[in-house]
């Protein structure tokens, strides 16, 4: 039962470097999400994708880009990393039908120095 899988789990970047966080789900969900988690602030939505081929900005999209490569995969890219992007990033996907439960990956710990 893989569910939502994120890679890498840990990453250290230098300011200005770029990187892509990968996410894949095997539950045939249409909607996928990227959140960041910072101490005392809960989770904040960066971008989401309601279906394959569509993406929309969330609460804190600046400094990020996303790609919904296919129904399974939704990647998050930092083009020029900044220390303010040090955070824990969670990918999630949502079931359809009764309850609309959102399932989360295990998180990616990113440090920008």
Does position 49 bind other proteins by CB under 8 A? Answer: yes
Binding of other proteins by 94 (CB under 8 A): yes
Compare residues 15 and 51 and give the one whose CB is closer to other proteins.
51
87 binds other proteins (CB under 8 A): no
Integer Cα distance of 31 and 49 in angstroms: 5
Near other proteins by CB under 8 A, which window of 11-19, 47-55, 60-68, 74-82? 47-55
Q: Rounded to whole angstroms, what are the CA distances from 49 to 4, 9, 20, 24, 97?
A: 15, 22, 17, 13, 17
Triad 76, 45, 57: Cα angle to 5°:
70
5 binds other proteins (CB under 8 A): no
Considering all CA atoms of the chain, what is the largest pairwise distance in Å, rounded to the nearest integer?
Answer: 44
Give me the residues that bind other proteins (CB under 8 A), please. 4, 30-31, 33, 40-45, 48-51, 56, 58, 90, 94, 99-107
């Amino acid at each position: 039962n893989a569910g939502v899988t994120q890679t890498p789990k840990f990453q250290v970047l230098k300011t200005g470097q770029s990187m892509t966080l990968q996410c894949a789900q095997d539950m045939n969900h249409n909607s996928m999400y990227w959140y960041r988690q910072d101490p005392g602030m809960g989770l904040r939505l960066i971008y989401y994708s309601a279906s394959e081929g569509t993406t929309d900005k969330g609460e804190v999209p600046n400094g990020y880009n996303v790609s919904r490569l296919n129904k399974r995969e939704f990647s998050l890219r930092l083009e020029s990393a900044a220390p303010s992007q040090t955070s824990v990033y969670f990918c999630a996907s949502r079931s359809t039908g009764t309850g609309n439960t959102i399932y989360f990956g295990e998180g990616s710990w990113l440090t920008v120095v």
